[in-house]
Amino acid sequence: MGSMLSLIDVLIVGSGAYILYVFYQLKFAGEIKEGLLLPRGVNPKHCKDKAAYIAEMSPKVLVYGICALVCGILGIFEDVYHMLGNYYLLVLIVFVGITVWFAAQGKKAVKKYW
């Protein structure tokens, strides 16, 4: 079971790195990635106010990316060194909470700008 949890933690770290890449593309290149930020079928070209969308979503993407990266790294350390014990449950709750928050914010922004 430990190897499965390690694999999940590695996937979370990889997801965090990808989310930070999406932040970079959003903030510095002005490119809206469809996979993370937009649901299937929503065309980024039809955005009503691209600059406002980027200004609203970029800090949220950054927070989510950092949270995913940190929680994944803490999960790997927990799998290897067992240093957090029961506090690791708190890390998981924070990660799930931030994920739900980010999904709700993304859905709200799509309704607002498309």
Q: What Å distances lie between residue 55 and 5, 103, 107, CA to CA?
A: 35, 17, 16
pLDDT of 58-74, one tens digit each? 999 999 999 999 999 99
Kindly tell me if the per-residue pLDDT of 1 is higher than 60: no
Q: Are 26 and 61 in contact (CB under 8 A)?
A: yes
Tell me how far apart the alpha carbons of residues 95 and 8 are, in angstroms, rounded to a whole number: 13
Task: Give the pTM.
Answer: 0.91
* Structure confidence at residue 40 (pLDDT): 87
Domain ranges for the chain: 2-32+43-113
pLDDT of 10-62, one tens digit each? 999 999 999 999 999 999 999 998 888 998 889 999 999 999 999 999 999 99
